Amino acid sequence: MRRASAWWLLAEEVCGKIATPKVDVAAADAEVEALLRDSWLWSCGESVASKLQAAWVDSRCRVLLRSLTTGRP
């Protein structure tokens, strides 16, 4: 019985490998990344990030100008 089950498991494994298509992982990852970059959620995230960056730059400039005009940090 052991021998028959071993042959059966081997046959299942071989048939599974034959029937399973080969997947190009790099291409699949690139497709998912492209879908994410083109999504609405990604564009919203980029918008928020650019607004935060602009606010950070403005605040640093404001603090620098304030310290130059008042003489205090």
pLDDT of residue 17: 85
Q: What is the pLDDT of residue 31?
A: 95
8-33: pLDDT as tens digits: 889 899 988 888 888 889 999 999 99
Please list, in sequence order, all residues whose beta carbon lies within 8 angstroms of the beta carbon of residue 36, skipping any fewer than 6 positions away. Answer: 42
The DSSP letter of residue 37 is H
Q: Mean pLDDT score of the chain, rounded to an integer? A: 87
